[in-house]
Amino acid sequence: MTERALSRFPAQEQITGASKIPTIIYYDKQGNVRAIGAEATKDGIFEAAEEGNWVKAEWCVSYLCDHTAG
């Protein structure tokens, strides 16, 4: 397994370096991720989550693995 540093995330394109990313994930009823990290805090996401009955996971631990690395 290869470890890689992440420096940018969706909705934080303008920020680089050691930025803190909110640990928020919204899922729909089918278990599909709808919004994650800083994207989950953007304008309109809360309303979309309410309308779509999304489930909010907060303060979760994520392990990001690169399954394509040999």
Residues 49, 70: Cα–Cα separation, whole Å: 37
pLDDT in tens, 38-58: 888 889 999 999 999 999 998
Residues 36, 13: Cα–Cα separation, whole Å: 14
Residues 19, 14: Cα–Cα separation, whole Å: 11
Q: Residue 9: which residues within 8 A CB-CB, separation 6 or more?
A: 19, 21, 37, 38, 39
Q: Which residues sit opposite 56 in a β-bridge?
A: 26
Q: Residue 50: which residues within 8 A CB-CB, separation 6 or more?
A: none
pLDDT of residue 5: 61
Per-residue pLDDT of the chain (70 residues; tens, 9 = 90+): 566 665 555 555 555 555 566 788 999 999 999 998 888 888 999 999 999 999 999 876 555 555 665 5
pLDDT of residue 2: 64
